[in-house]
Structure formats: structure tokens, C-alpha cells
């Protein structure tokens, strides 16, 4: 069970130290969050703080100068960031996964000696940019097609050229657009019959000729992610831009499915934030507000009890799922990951809804955080590759069909 700060009781000393780093930054993140939300502007100041704290290198292996966090540790730290600013946590996910996928996760995959040597050579460059230069890596994924759900090859393509690749295509909802120093683009190697197995993962530097950022950004929630559209018009990147060797991303997506669970910590943090605020509000302890207690009303007590039960259920599944994460998980572990993703995304919004109803009319005002938490929380169920609908679809199918089974 988490302690009063929300930290699970069985975390390691190293995990507590890293969560503590995020918690120290949290109050400043929360103070800035309303402005970023109002302006739909990127949280550059928060990233300056992440850079100074060393957290940009959270999942960079220690051998490369980073903090060496594993999957579960990343999730715990990200959830803590999400308690203070959802948009910062969500964009931090894109950056951290760029290092987690190429670091610990890639180490679990099968590669030839030549592929392993190539990968080590390339990732050392990317890691050095982050640790030494403070570079931010984005991870544009969506294309408005079945590709982002893993059901079709990506429409963004890469053609092999002398010394590198030429990329053509478009990515929508590209978080950190205009803020990242490098965009880790998932694309398909151009062939006569493209396949998911031909997926490439290439880092495109900001400002590369042919790379454009277009469109407006005025969404319901997660406004500070600044997720505009990226356009690639015959963009050239060298061979060293590869974040994974050719064909390895497909292996990762097949064998390390929890790699797609990394959005959920953000929403776990938002769920905790809604609960924490409600308790503080009912106790008359919200900073800047009159110390009026509302805890004596039975309706409020019942409501906050209901919230605590939902929070405990959600956190329990979250913690179990992130500890399941590994290469080649069992069928049950994979299905639990779908269930966790669905539960976290839906219950985060439900807890925000209950918080607003319980705290009453003042909670609608923008000088309190609940209405922003509510809008941010509603976005989680929509996020590829594991939307709430896709989680239900995959969970139901995999419960009823074992691998290779078909109906007559």
C-alpha cells in the first residue's frame, strides 16, 4: 500500500531517491501548470528543472552516464511527475521511452553480434546528447491510421540512400513539436510490399531541411504537450540516426508489450492528484483558500471513501502490471497489462469526476486544479497504441482465443 505521499511501501532505496527528485520539482510544476494550460504552451521551465536534476537521463544506462532506471522505476517517477503536471509527465514519457526502448529493453532482444555492435555505437551518441548536452527526444507515433495501433505498416516511409535514409510522410499529435531537439520517428522501410517487420526507428534532428511543423493546437486537455503535426518532405538522416537496428522495433513490439504501457503512469499521477486535492479541500487545507472544513458531512465522507477505494484498486493493478513487465511475458501478464491500461485511464477520469462533484461549485473555477485535471484525464482513453477501446478488444479476444486458434 502506498504511504501518505503516494509512494509504494516496498520501493527500493534507489527508487525512493528518484521519486524524491521528482517530488522536489513538483510544487514548481504545479504552480506553472495553469499558465501552460491556458496558453497551450510547452513547459520549457519544467524541462530546465528536469535537466538540472539529471532526470532527463533517468532511463539512460549508468554505463552511459545516466541514472539507469528500469521500467518499474520509470513508471513510479513518471507517476509522481503526473501528480503535479500531467502534460509534463506525458511529454516526459516520450523522451524517457526513447532511452528506455534503446537501453534496457533493447538489451533483452535478440540481435546478431553485428547488430548489437551497431546498436551500441549508435545509442552511445544519442545517450551522450541527453546526458552531456541536455537534449530532449520526442517520439511521434500517430498517423491517423491503423499503423499506430500496430495493425498496419506506418505510412511514413524511409528509403535507403547513400550514407543514410530519406523520410517522407506525416505524424499527427506529435507531442513536443517545436520543443524537442530530436524526433524519434517510427516509419516503414519502403518496399514493394511493406510489412510491420520493416519498421524503422530513426532520430530526426530539429531544423533538418524538409522537416516542418504545421497546424494549430487547441485541444480539450493535455494542452501543454503542444502536439502539432510533423511533415517530412524527403528528410535525410545519416545511418547513425537509427535508434534501433533494422527490424528490431518489430521484435520489441511483439516481445516487450509493456513498452506501450508507459502512458499510464501519467494518468495514475493525475488520479492521485484529484484524490489528494479533495482530501485537502474537505479538511480546509488548500493553500490560498479560507481554512473552511467540510469533512463533517456524511455525504462528503462517503464520497471520499468511494474515491479512496477506486484509487487503491487502480494503484494495486498499476503496481502489479509494472512489476510484470519483462521480455516475453506470459499470456496472463499481457492481459493484465491491457486491464491495467484500461482501468487507469478510465478511473483517472472517474476520480476527477468524483472530486469535482464532491468539492462542489468552486472546483469548476480555473484557479483550482480540478477542472484541468478532469480535462487532462479524459484524454487518456484516446491515446494510441492502447486506447481504452483497443484494450477491451484485445483483452476479450485473447481471453477467448489461444494463440493460433480460429473458428471453423
Q: Rounded distance, CA 85 to CA 115, Å?
A: 39
pLDDT at 102 over 80: yes
Distances (CA, A) of 8 to 3, 277, 278, 349: 6, 19, 20, 22
At residue 74, what are phi and psi to the nearest 5 degrees?
Answer: -55, -45
Mean predicted confidence (pLDDT) in 365-375? 95
Q: What is the pLDDT of residue 6?
A: 66
What mean pLDDT do residues 355-367 have? Answer: 93
Structural fold of domain 157-248: Butyryl-CoA Dehydrogenase, subunit A; domain 2 (2.40.110)
Q: Which three cell numbers stand for residue 101?
A: 526502448
Higher-confidence position of 288 and 257? 257
Indicate the CATH number for domain 256-400. 1.20.140.10
Residue with cell 545511418: 239
- At 3 the pLDDT is 53
pLDDT score of 1? 43
Query: Would you state the pLDDT for residue 4?
Result: 59
List C-alpha distances in Å: 178 to 43, 58, 79, 168.
Answer: 12, 22, 25, 19
Residue 14: asked if its preceding bond is cis (omega within 30°), the reply is no
Average pLDDT, the chain: 95
Q: Where are the alpha helices (DSSP H) in 187-324?
A: 248-255, 264-282, 298-324
The residue extents of the domains of the chain are: 13-136, 157-248, 256-400
Q: Looking at domain 13-136, does it have CATH number 1.10.8.100? A: no
The answer to whether 157 and 188 have CB atoms below 8 angstroms apart is yes
CB-based contacts of 226, cutoff 8 Å, min separation 6? 40, 41, 42, 175, 176, 177, 178, 179, 217
**Span 267-296, average pLDDT:** 96
Q: Is pLDDT of 146 > 80?
A: no
Q: In 63-156, where do the E strands start and end?
A: 137-138
How far is Cα of residue 183 from the mean position of the Cα atoms in its chain? 15
C-alpha to C-alpha distance for 88 and 225, rounded to whole angstroms: 7
Amino acid at each position: 500500500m502506498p504511504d501518505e505521499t503516494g509512494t509504494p511501501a516496498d520501493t527500493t532505496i534507489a527508487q525512493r531517491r528518484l521519486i524524491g527528485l521528482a517530488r522536489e520539482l513538483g510544487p514548481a510544476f504545479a504552480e506553472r501548470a495553469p499558465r501552460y494550460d491556458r496558453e497551450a504552451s510547452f513547459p520549457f521551465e519544467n524541462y530546465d528543472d528536469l535537466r538540472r536534476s539529471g532526470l532527463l537521463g533517468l532511463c539512460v544506462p549508468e554505463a552511459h552516464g545516466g541514472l539507469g532506471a528500469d521500467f518499474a522505476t520509470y513508471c513510479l517517477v513518471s507517476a509522481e511527475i503526473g501528480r503535479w503536471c500531467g502534460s509534463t509527465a506525458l511529454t516526459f514519457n516520450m523522451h524517457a521511452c526513447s532511452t528506455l526502448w534503446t537501453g534496457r529493453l533493447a538489451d533483452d532482444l535478440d540481435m546478431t553480434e553485428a547488430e548489437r555492435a551497431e546498436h551500441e555505437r549508435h545509442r552511445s551518441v544519442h545517450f551522450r546528447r541527453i546526458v552531456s548536452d541536455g537534449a530532449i527526444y520526442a517520439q511521434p507515433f500517430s498517423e491517423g491510421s491503423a499503423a499506430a495501433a500496430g495493425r498496419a505498416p506506418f505510412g511514413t516511409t524511409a528509403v535507403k540512400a547513400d550514407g543514410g535514409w530519406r523520410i517522407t510522410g506525416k505524424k499527427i499529435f506529435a507531442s513536443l513539436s517545436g520543443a524537442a531537439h530530436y524526433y524519434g520517428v517510427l516509419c516503414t522501410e519502403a518496399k514493394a510490399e511493406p510489412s510491420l517487420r520493416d519498421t524503422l526507428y530513426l532520430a530526426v534532428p530539429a531544423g533538418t531541411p524538409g522537416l516542418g511543423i504545421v497546424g494549430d493546437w487547441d485541444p480539450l486537455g493535455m494542452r501543454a504537450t503542444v502536439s502539432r503535426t510533423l511533415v517530412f518532405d524527403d528528410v535525410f538522416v545519416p545511418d547513425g540516426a537509427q535508434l534501433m537496428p533494422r527490424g528490431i522495433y518489430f521484435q520489441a513490439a511483439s516481445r516487450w508489450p509493456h513498452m506501450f504501457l508507459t502512458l499510464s503512469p501519467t494518468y495514475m499521477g493525475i488520479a492521485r492528484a484529484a484524490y489528494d486535492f479533495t482530501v485537502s479541500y474537505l479538511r480546509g487545507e488548500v493553500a490560498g483558500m479560507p481554512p473552511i472544513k467540510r469533512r463533517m458531512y456524511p455525504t462528503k465522507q462517503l464520497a471520499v471513501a468511494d474515491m479512496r477505494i477506486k484509487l487503491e484498486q487502480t494503484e494495486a493493478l498499476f503496481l502489479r502490471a509494472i512489476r510484470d513487465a519483462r521480455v516475453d511475458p506470459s499470456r496472463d501478464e499481457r492481459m493484465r497489462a491491457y486491464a491495467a491500461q484500461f482501468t487507469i485511464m478510465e478511473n483517472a477520469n472517474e476520480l476527477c469526476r468524483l472530486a469535482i462533484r464532491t468539492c462542489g461549485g468552486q472546483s469548476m473555477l480555473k484557479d483550482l486544479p480540478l477542472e484541468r485535471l478532469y480535462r487532462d484525464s479524459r484524454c487518456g482513453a484516446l491515446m494510441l497504441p492502447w486506447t481504452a477501446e483497443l484494450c477491451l478488444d484485445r483483452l476479450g479476444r485473447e481471453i477467448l482465443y489461444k494463440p493460433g486458434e480460429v473458428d471453423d
